[in-house]
Each structure stands twice: as C-alpha cells, then as structure tokens.
Amino acid sequence: MQLNLKDLQCFVVVYELRSFSRAAETLDTAQSLISSRIRRLEQFIGTPLFARLPHGIAPNAKGELLYHHAKRVLHNVAELETAFR
C-alpha cells in the first residue's frame, strides 16, 4: 500500500472541518469516497486517526501528528508544482 496525496488532501479537509459530510460538500464528492480515503489512510498508518463521536469527529494524537506532517508535505508539493510551471 502506498501513501496517496489525494488521501492526504482529503484528510486535511476532514481534520479542518471536523466532519466527513462537510468535507464531502467542500470537495464536491460523495461522503462514501471521503470515508474510503480516511479508512485507507488509517490502514496505511495502522491506527484510527479520528475519534468518532455522537455529534462529529475529533482527531486523536495520531491524527494530530499526521495533520502537521500532511500540511508540510502538501505545501512542499505545491511549491514543487509552482517551480516547474
């Protein structure tokens, strides 16, 4: 299994909005795709990234850690894309 940039982008949106459904709306995609991407990341990392609460979600310690790394990776990828345009 490989790490996927689209999965990381999706994770960042879910993290920032604290909602799978709002992330789906923001990304103009199905909530099931958002759930699949997060599930794939959780399988890659080997642990859940969010606590599922009765009224939403909250990132756990691994989710917090991944968020900070993902933001850096996505920023670096954006800089790379800009440099080669």
pLDDT at 10 over 90: yes
Rounded to an integer, what is the distance from CA 23 to the centroid of its chain? 10
pLDDT at 41 over 80: yes
Q: Is residue 13 within 8 Å of residue 25, measured between CB atoms?
A: no
Q: Go through the domains of the chain in sequence order and give each one's CATH number.
A: 5-83 (1.10.10.10)
pLDDT at 1 over 80: no
pLDDT at 72 over 90: yes
**Model's pTM, two decimal places?**
0.93
pLDDT in tens, 55-68: 889 999 999 999 99
pLDDT at residue 13, rounded to an integer: 98
